[in-house]
Structure 1
Amino acid sequence: METRRLRMLVELSRLGSMRAVADTLGTTTSTVSQQIAALSGEMGVPLTEPHGRRVRLTPAGRRLAEHGVRILASVEAARHDLAPEAEPSGTVRVAGFATAIRTHLLPVVSELAASHPRVRVLIREHEPAEALRLLAEDAADLALTYDYNLAPATEDPAVHTTALWTARWSLGVPAGPGTRTGPATEVFAHYAEHDWIVNSRNTADETVIRTLASMAGFTPRFTHQADSLDLVQGMIAAGLGVSLLPEATAHLPAVRIVPLAQPAIELRAFAAARRGRLDWPALTLLTSLLRARRPASTPGLRTAITPA
């Protein structure tokens, strides 16, 4: 049902003649007649009937006009509510990785509760591939994702990405004598015979490790997988392997963070939305607040460990 046709029917109910409707809406009488006839065809019932030299609404026409008043009012309210200059309101569905949610999104949600109480945020914790799939399925409005400078994500032309922050990543190894420092390839070569621990829900860090290991001349042996930094560090402390870790993360006494350079490893965080959706004021506001927020310290990727 086209709202333009419905508006003509409502005006006919109010004004009583097609000529008056045409004059009010700035069109011709024949156009009004054709559009109302088309509306009648869409509804499957006659909406007008002859009445002398004019027409009048049938009972079905009058009933539809009554609905039309409420429908057009709702459409107009929606138009004002969703206009770019409108006051942000509504529910924004966000899917993203844990660190972005915990250190960036949750403070913004608290801020919104005070400044824009009509904006509600629903949160689902997901790795980038999962979050982007929800975005494509229209099960999320905003995806918080990441990639690495040595493992860039594939661009999707249907998705608009906004850069949020970057974080340096290093190598987590068992603390003790013999820890190697220097260029990343030399550090990696020093641990070539160690087992390597990677993320259980994302392959980006595995790609980074493979890339640097190839530059260092060896093939890494991936053995353990975990999504929690608590668990990863526990594995490293237990001597089960080495793993990439955020450079600024708090670490266990039995774990040493070895900085990497030449090349450095950098995590890049993004906010992703389907193209055209950022015209929605609530989504625009949330994205701008996330972009403006700067981390107090370099964020990690997975759940950060809390020192005892």
Structure 2
Amino acid sequence: METRRLRMLVELSRLGSMRAVADMLGTTTSTVSQQIAALADDMGTALIEPHGRRVRLTPAGRRLAEHGVTILAAVEAARHDLAPGSEPNGTLRVAGFATAIRTHLLPVITTLSGSHPRLHVLVREHEPAEALQLLADDMADLALTYDYNLAPATEDPAVRATALWTARWGLGVPVEADVREGTTLEVFAQCAGHDWIVNSRNTADETVIRTLASMAGFTPRITHQADSLDLVQGMITAGLGVGLLPLGTVTFPAVRLLPLDTPDVELRAYAVARHGRLDWPPLALVTELLLQRSARERRRTSLAP
């Protein structure tokens, strides 16, 4: 069984069309079709069948694609096992959200510049869905992502997510707003008449807001979107609405940050990598350094008065 053919089948199961597979692999639709047909001959069973103007995987094709994820990961792991030398070197491509890069990854990179000068980290700022897509397309080696306890991410068997840290979030409101502290649902109910500001490149916080608003008995009027937390505060200052902000944030003078308790709103950060690459020395080292930094931050926070 040629792993190149198997990868085409796995990508077809993920992308849904031969054209998409061809575009991703830099080949032609005809080549993809021929290689999957050859794989079917190798296996002695049909792997695809017509579906309208396209094709879809047969039950056998779906099952082989499931095996293919594990097989390709094992092949990749074997390559890394045979790699000469043990000291991490080369280029590690990291895609992640701004807070993770600024507060956790950049200090790690500073440390690496002295301890491992032959290891270079290439940084790209992306929201979770974008970072995970880069990981799937092999355009990133490590994705720094997040979800919320009230909006958990969908599990993907092709990757492993390592939990890094958690952060409590609150609700930012204008200073002059008549909103008193209370439980999360009480705070939300008092803001039912306000416009709401959500992230422009990720839907997780909107899911959290809609979930809590529904529990509080209203439908939120979501009108504005902003990726930058500073811009969210600027919008709140301008009277454009209210929005989620991490507790501990240094707020603008015109912004008041209310804690959200019962239920809590908690962001959860992860380091995500594809199976088969977890033992690659640069990836393993950076992941471990991120874990160590997260642990130090947790201890520091727990000891703070």
Give the TM-score normalised by structure 2: 0.69
Q: Which residue of 2 aligns with 1:140?
A: 140
Q: Which residue of 2 aligns with 1:224?
A: 224
- CA contact 2:80–2:279 (8 Å) conserved in 1: no
Distance 2:81 2:189 in 1: 60
- CA contact 1:81–1:87 (8 Å) conserved in 2: no
- CA contact 1:89–1:118 (8 Å) conserved in 2: yes
- What is the CA distance between 1:178 and its match in structure 2? 2.3
Distance 1:78 1:119 in 2: 19
Are positions 1:262 and 2:262 aligned together? yes
Alignment of 1:1-308 (within 5 A): 79-81=82-84, 86-176=86-176, 178-294=178-294, 296=297
- What is the CA distance between 1:180 and its match in structure 2? 1.7
Distance 1:296 1:177 in 2: 33
- What is the CA distance between 1:227 and its match in structure 2? 0.7
For residues 153-200 of structure 1, give each alpha carbon's deviation from its aligned partner in whole angstroms, at most 9, with x where no partner exists: 000000011001000000000002622211101110000010000000
Closer/same/farther in 2, CA of residues 78 and 190 from structure 1, 3 Å limit: closer
Structure 1: gaps (5+ residues): 1-75, 299-308
SS of residue paired to 2:114: helix
Letter in 1 for 2:106: L
SS of residue paired to 1:253: coil
Give the TM-score normalised by structure 1: 0.69
Closer/same/farther in 2, CA of residues 181 and 77 from structure 1, 3 Å limit: closer
Distance 1:130 1:266 in 2: 21
Among the aligned pairs, what percent are the same residue?
71
Distance 1:163 1:77 in 2: 24
Count of matched residue positions in the alignment of Structure 1 and Structure 2 = 220
Distance 1:170 1:129 in 2: 23
Letter in 2 for 1:81: P
- What is the CA distance between 1:132 and its match in structure 2? 0.2
- CA contact 1:89–1:119 (8 Å) conserved in 2: yes
- What is the CA distance between 1:79 and its match in structure 2? 3.0
Letter in 2 for 1:292: Q
Letter in 2 for 1:212: L
CA RMSD of aligned residues (A): 1.9
- CA contact 1:91–1:119 (8 Å) conserved in 2: yes
For residues 80-127 of structure 1, give each alpha carbon's deviation from its aligned partner in whole angstroms, at most 9, with x where no partner exists: 436xxx111111000000110111101101101101111110011100
Distance 1:252 1:195 in 2: 19
